[in-house]
């Protein structure tokens, strides 16, 4: 589906902005492994993090593939063959580099935290030196990527199957954030901060013009 391809770097960043979970594809001891993980990014790199014991993050120096996919809905045609999915996706290729500089490590972790929950880095306690030592962070350049976006209708509306008299169209997938649920151990009187409470009812994967 070459017609779904995008070459504008802004489209890559729009997909990264809309997604929350990336899948890291890597070879571990000669075997393929695909690991879901949260991420952060800036104009040049995508950051992936995990425990220092994580085997999937230990392979710095080898090429990996990181995929982010956002589901926007189903394409329901008159024939099963023409069914499809509307989506936004990015596949990023390259050799990740481990982040060891403390300032860069905090920078990457801040981007990762702020991507998932904007405002949380300044609200919550920041990582201690011990916690930073237990965290592995990889940075992958955004220089080589494949971006595809599908936002179409069924393709059989002007063909022979149009005479079947069957309904066809799109079924949008719209996920929204729910109401914050407090930790059962949280003392009474501590309300969620505005940057968390304000997300209730808002789309999880917003469209960005």
Higher local confidence (pLDDT), 23 or 8: 23
**pLDDT single digits (tens) 141-187:** 999 999 999 999 999 989 999 999 999 999 999 999 999 999 999 99
**115's tokens:** 């991507």
State whether the Cα torsion 38-42-43-47 is positive or negative.
negative
CATH 2.30.110.10 correct for 2-172: yes
Would you state the structure tokens that stand for residue 75, as one six-digit string? 């394409």
Q: Where are the domains of the chain?
A: 2-172
Structure confidence at residue 65 (pLDDT): 95
- Burial environment of residue 7 by CB neighbours within 10 A (0 to 12, 13 to 18, 19 or more): exposed
Phi and psi torsions of 37, nearest 5°: -160, 150
pLDDT at 60 over 60: no
pTM score, two decimals?
A: 0.89
What pLDDT score was predicted for residue 49?
A: 87
Whole-number Å distance between alpha carbons of 190 and 31: 47
Angle subtended at Cα 133 by Cα 120 and Cα 40, rounded to the nearest 5 degrees: 40
pLDDT tens-place string over residues 190-203: 999 999 999 999 99
């Amino acid at each position: 589906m070459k017609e779904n391809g995008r070459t504008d770097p802004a489209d890559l960043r729009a997909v990264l902005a809309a997604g929350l979970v990336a899948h890291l594809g890597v070879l571990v001891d000669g075997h393929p492994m695909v690991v879901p993980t949260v991420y952060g990014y800036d104009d040049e790199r995508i950051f992936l993090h995990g425990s220092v014991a994580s085997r999937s993050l230990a392979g710095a120096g080898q090429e990996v593939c990181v995929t982010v996919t956002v589901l926007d809905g189903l394409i329901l045609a008159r024939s099963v063959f023409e069914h499809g999915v509307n989506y936004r996706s990015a596949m990023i290729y390259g050799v990740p580099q481990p982040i060891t500089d403390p300032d860069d490590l905090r920078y990457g972790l801040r981007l990762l935290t702020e991507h998932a929950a904007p405002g949380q880095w300044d609200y919550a306690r920041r990582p201690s030196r011990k916690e930073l030592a237990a965290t592995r962070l990889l940075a992958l350049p955004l220089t080589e990527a494949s971006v595809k976006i599908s936002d179409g209708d069924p393709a059989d509306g002007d063909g022979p199957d149009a005479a079947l008299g069957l309904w066809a169209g799109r079924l949008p997938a719209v996920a929204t954030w729910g109401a914050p649920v407090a930790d059962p151990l949280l003392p009474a009187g501590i309300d969620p901060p505005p940057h968390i409470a304000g997300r209730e009812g808002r789309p999880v994967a917003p469209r960005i013009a």
